[in-house]
Structure formats: C-alpha cells, structure tokens
Amino acid sequence: MLVSHPSGAAGTFADTLRAEASHQLADALVHGGFIVTLCALMVCFTIWSRMLGSQRVAVVVGMVSFCVGCGTLIASMILDGFVSPALAARFVGTGSAEGLAMARPLLILCGTLIRFLMPWGLALQSVAMFSWSLVLLRMGGIARAAGVFGVVSAVTVLTVFLAFANLSGHVLLGVIVVHVIWYAGLAVSLAHTGRALSRQV
C-alpha cells in the first residue's frame, strides 16, 4: 500500500489539484486498505491484551493508547484518501479561477489537520508499544527481545516527535517500519509462547 501511494505533482496549485483529482480511486484504495488494516490490528491487539492479562495497568494503557492512535490515524486517512481527492475533483471540474480560490483554503485545512493527526496517531501507538513492551520484558526468550526493541524504539520515536515540530514524510514512514518490525517480533514470540500466554487468561 505504501508503494502504491500516489505522489503529488510538482507545479502550480492547479497542477496539484488535477493530480489529486486524477488519483481519487488509487487514494481511496490505498487509504481504505490502511483503515481496514488498522481495524484488524485493533481486533488482534484486543485479543492479545486479554492473553497478557487485562487486569495489568500497563496492558490497559497500551490498549487504550493503541486504539486512540488508530482512531487518529483513521481520521488522517479519511482526510488524505477521501476528502482531499473529492474536494480536488469537485473544484478542478469548474476550471475557473474562482473554483481554485475556493479549493485552496479547504485543501490547506485538510493538509494542516493531516500534519497533526498522523504524527499524533503514530506517537500514541508508540506509547502503546512502550507500555506493552514493559510487560514483555518480564518474559523470556523472544518476547523479552521484542520488549527491549519496543522500549528502545518507542523512546527514540517519542523523543524525535518531541524534538522536531515538522516531521518529514520519510521520518513518519520510518516510524511505521519500526512498528511493523515490532509486530513481526510479537508474531514470532507468540509462536513460541502462545500456549503459556493462553494459560494466563
């Protein structure tokens, strides 16, 4: 989905608007796919949190932070993948200077909201990664290794977010990759400790 993400066109605002309008279907598919993925992750992590022990404070903090982060990211995906292209398609069809003038503040508003929603969503998911990783540190083997990676990565990500007001797309992409690596570590650890975790429910 990241590879298929449409890229903006350089040039005038009218060129950008036409490019955004022409990618409406691709944007919907890519961002809709991300939304479905986030919903699936919430289901999986809810089950996983029950396996870890839903009475633990760290588990509850992780679950709440993750779900709020997913909600924030979903809002960003809706604006970026559905609202912005729909606005572009509506105003580019007018072909008038008045239509472009009306579209500019609306797209600036969408872009500004996305610039805050995306980092906040990833930051909240990093808080969840940190909180859950504290629980993993008490286990052995691969689970503890995933916990160490999660704590170090979460602290690094949150430090970067606090230190820099404007984050580039490459930094945000790097954060997503870090989360994916941690997810992979959890999957491997579950393959080895799933039965032990199940007995803790």
pLDDT in tens, 135-164: 999 887 888 999 999 999 999 999 988 877
Quote the pLDDT of residue 133: 94
Residue 195: pLDDT above 70? Answer: no
- Report the C-alpha gap between 67 and 162 in whole angstroms: 21
Q: Is 17 exposed, middle or buried (0-12, 13-18, 19+ CB in 10 A)?
A: buried
- Report the C-alpha gap between 48 and 66 in whole angstroms: 12
DSSP 138: T
Residue 20 tokens read as 């955004």
What does residue 140 show for φ and ψ, rounded to 5 degrees?
Answer: -115, 175
Q: Write down the mean pLDDT value for the chain.
A: 85
Quote the pLDDT of residue 198: 47
Model confidence band, residue 200 (pLDDT cutoffs 50, 70, 90): very low
Residue 165 tokens read as 């007001």
Q: Is 84 exposed, middle or buried (0-12, 13-18, 19+ CB in 10 A)?
A: buried
Residue 42: pLDDT above 80? Answer: yes
C-beta of residue 30 within 8 angstroms of C-beta of residue 81:
yes
- Report the C-alpha gap between 155 and 174 in whole angstroms: 14
Quote the pLDDT of residue 66: 97
Structure-token match 């449409």, residue found: 6
Q: What is the pTM of this model?
A: 0.84
DSSP assignment string, 82-131: IIHHHHHHHHHTT-SHHHHHHHHHHHHHHHHHHHHHHHHHHHHHHHHHHH
- Report the C-alpha gap between 53 and 66 in whole angstroms: 16
